[in-house]
């Protein structure tokens, strides 16, 4: 069973990332070095599909998300939206495409203008893109605020007068304002309690069904990603290490990192269920000084000599899963 309507397998590809790389220069005691935040990620997202992205904190998910909507320029590689290369587009060309893709930011407060009231925050993108008269815009803003659970008494409040989860919902309302076709949602529900989280996830699913929206959904809560996504991509140190159907990845991880990640999900009632938790040891992943060979090898319990020398490529396995590992975990070995 799937939550949202599964994307038709032959739906057109809406978003394609081709070998996207983003390096940040930083100064360190050893002089100038590069943070290899995103290190060659390629993937395709079909119209109407939800792609979940998970991975260690700092592995480059947000940076990749920003590259996808061209909020930052990738160091190399390109992003195709609807078949058009947006990475090398001029500002003017891009502006007309902007309404097509929106981003919900991880940092709800930092992305809100502190001097703008809630309703104005939601209206602002509609105004810049001239989407109707003042009244229409206002009405739509109020409607959007209601969809994310605010009554009208919230419309005139400033961001600092909202709670953490309320700010997050405000960010969602703003992203929806332009009726985008693609939504990059960076941790959109992390600050919400489970009940409102459920409402928001249901809302996203409804919108997807009605408007054939496409989502790239970045989150740490694996149960949430499993629920909302059709496919899950797992990132580690700026690379995609596993990509496959949501249920398959969740129930049957093939990359050792995915396996460790899933085993660390806190279980609700610790006294009734004990499952083996794989504790990751070894060097902490460092995007400045990446290990040779497989990036995960220093912490991998299955690592062998070849892993430290030769970098495994993302390869399609027999079951259709894409895994970047020399020794993928066997199917059904959970």
Partner 1 sequence: MWRFAGRRALAAVLVLFAISVMVFLIFFATPGADPAARIAGRNASQETLAQVRASFGFDKPMYMQYGLMMRHLFIDRDLTSFVNRGSQVIPQITQAIPVTLSLVIGAAVIWMVLGIIMGVAATAGRGTAVDPIIMVFGVIGVSLPVYWLGEVVNLITQSRLHDSWFAWVPPLGYAPLSDGVGTWALHLVLPWMTLAVLYAGIYARVLRSEMVGAMNEDYVRMARAKGIGEGRVLIRHALRTSLIVIVSLFGLDFGALIGGAALLTEVVFGLQGVGKLTYDSLQNFDLPVILGCVLYAAFFVVVANFIVDLAYAWLDPRVRHV
Partner 2 sequence: MSEPLLEVRNLRVSFRTRTGTVTAVDGISFTVDPGEVVGLVGESGSGKSVSMLTVLRLIDNPNCVIEGEVLFKGNDLLTMSDADLRSIRGREIAMIFQDPMTALTPVYTAGWHISEQIRAHEKVSKKAANDRAIQLLTSVGIPNAESRVNSYPHEFSGGMRQRVVIAMALSCNPSLLIADEPTTALDVTIQAQILELLRDLQSEFGASIVLITHDMGVVSQMANRVMVMYGGRLVEAGSRLDVMREPAHPYTWGLMGSIPPTDGTRAVRLAAIPGAPISPSDSDRDRCLFAPRCTFATDSCRPQPGLIEHRPGHSDACIIPFSERAQRRTEALAPMRART
Query: Which of 126, 228 has the CB closer to partner 2?
Result: 228
Q: With binding defined as CB under 8 A, does residue 326 bind partner 2?
A: no
Strand order across the 322-323 sheet: 101-104, 182-186, 214-218, 50-55, 231-236, 239-245, 322-323, 315-316
Query: What are the residues whose beta carbons fall under 8 Å from the beta carbon of 110, sequence distance 6 or more?
Result: none
Query: In the set 19, 107, 132, 164, which binds Mg ion (CB under 5 A)?
Result: 164
Site for Mg ion in 63-122 (CB under 5 A): 106
Site for partner 2 in 11-70 (CB under 8 A): 24, 26-30, 35, 54-58, 60, 62-63
By a kind-dependent CB cut-off of 5 to 8 A, residue 198 interacts, out of ligand ATP, partner 2, partner 1, none, with partner 2
Torsion of CA 220, 221, 223, 228, to 10 degrees: -70
Instruction: Tell the smallest beta-carbon distance from residue 119 to partner 1 (Å).
Output: 20
Q: With binding defined as CB under 8 A, does residue 302 bind partner 1?
A: no
d(CA 229, CA 3): 8
Q: With binding defined as CB under 8 A, does residue 327 bind partner 2?
A: no
Q: With binding defined as CB under 5 A, does residue 163 bind Mg ion?
A: yes
* Structure-token match 């290899």, residue found: 36
Query: Which of 8, 161 has the CB closer to ligand ATP?
Result: 161
By a kind-dependent CB cut-off of 5 to 8 A, residue 47 interacts, out of partner 2, ligand ATP, Mg ion, none, with none
Query: Which of 31, 83 has the CB closer to partner 1?
Result: 31
By a kind-dependent CB cut-off of 5 to 8 A, residue 51 interacts, out of ligand ATP, partner 1, Mg ion, none, with none
Q: Is the dihedral of CA 4, 10, 11, 16 positive or negative?
A: positive
Site for partner 2 in 84-143 (CB under 8 A): 106-110
By a kind-dependent CB cut-off of 5 to 8 A, residue 324 interacts, out of partner 1, partner 2, ligand ATP, none, with none
DSSP 251-289: HS--SHHHHHHHHTSPPS-TTT---------SSPP-TTS
Q: How many chain residues touch partner 2 (CB under 8 A)?
A: 81
Q: How many chain residues touch partner 1 (CB under 8 A)?
A: 6
Q: Which residues bind ligand ATP (CB under 6 A)?
A: 24, 26, 35, 37, 57-63, 106, 160-166, 191, 287
Instruction: Tell the smallest beta-carbon distance from residue 59 to Mg ion (Å).
Output: 9
Residue (of 65, 98, 64, 63) closest to 84 by Cα position: 98
What phi and psi values does residue 215 have, to the nearest 5 degrees? -120, 140
> Three-class SS of residue 298?
helix
Q: With binding defined as CB under 5 A, does residue 12 bind Mg ion?
A: no
Count of alpha carbons within 13 Å of 104, Cβ hemisphere only? 27
d(CA 209, CA 203): 10
The footprint of Mg ion (CB under 5 A) covers 62, 106, 163-164
């Amino acid at each position: 069973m799937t939550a949202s309507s599964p994307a038709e397998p032959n739906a057109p590809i809406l978003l394609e990332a081709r070998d996207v790389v983003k390096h940040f220069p930083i100064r360190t005691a050893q002089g100038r070095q590069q943070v290899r935040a995103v290190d060659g990620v390629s993937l395709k997202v079909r119209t109407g599909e939800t792609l979940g992205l998970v991975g260690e904190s700092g592995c480059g998910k947000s940076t990749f998300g920003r590259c996808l909507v061209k909020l930052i320029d990738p160091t190399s590689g390109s992003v195709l939206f609807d078949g058009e290369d947006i990475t090398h587009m001029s500002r003017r060309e891009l502006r007309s495409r902007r309404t097509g893709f929106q981003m919900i930011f991880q940092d709800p407060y930092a992305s809100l203008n502190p001097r703008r009231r809630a309703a104005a925050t939601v209206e602002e993108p509609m105004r810049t893109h001239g989407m109707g008269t003042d009244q229409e815009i206002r009405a739509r803003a109020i409607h959007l605020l209601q969809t994310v659970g605010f009554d009208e008494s919230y419309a005139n409040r400033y961001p600092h007068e909202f709670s953490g989860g309320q700010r997050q919902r405000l960010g969602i309302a703003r992203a929806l304002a332009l009726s985008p076709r693609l939504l990059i949602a960076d941790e959109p529900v992390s600050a919400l309690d489970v009940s409102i989280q459920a409402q928001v996830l249901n809302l996203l699913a409804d919108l997807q069904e009605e408007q054939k929206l496409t989502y790239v959904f970045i989150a740490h809560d694996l149960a949430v990603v499993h629920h909302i996504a059709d496919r899950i991509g797992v990132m580690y140190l700026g690379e995609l290490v596993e990509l496959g159907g949501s249920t398959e990845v969740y129930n049957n991880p093939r990359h050792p990192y995915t396996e460790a990640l899933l085993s660390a999900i806190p279980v609700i009632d610790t006294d009734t269920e004990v499952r083996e938790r794989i504790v990751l040891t070894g060097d902490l992943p460092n995007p400045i000084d990446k290990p040779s060979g497989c990036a995960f090898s220093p912490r991998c319990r299955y690592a062998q000599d070849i892993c430290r020398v030769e970098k495994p490529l993302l390869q399609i396995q027999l079951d259709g899963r894409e895994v970047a590992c020399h020794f993928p975990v066997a199917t059904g070995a959970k």
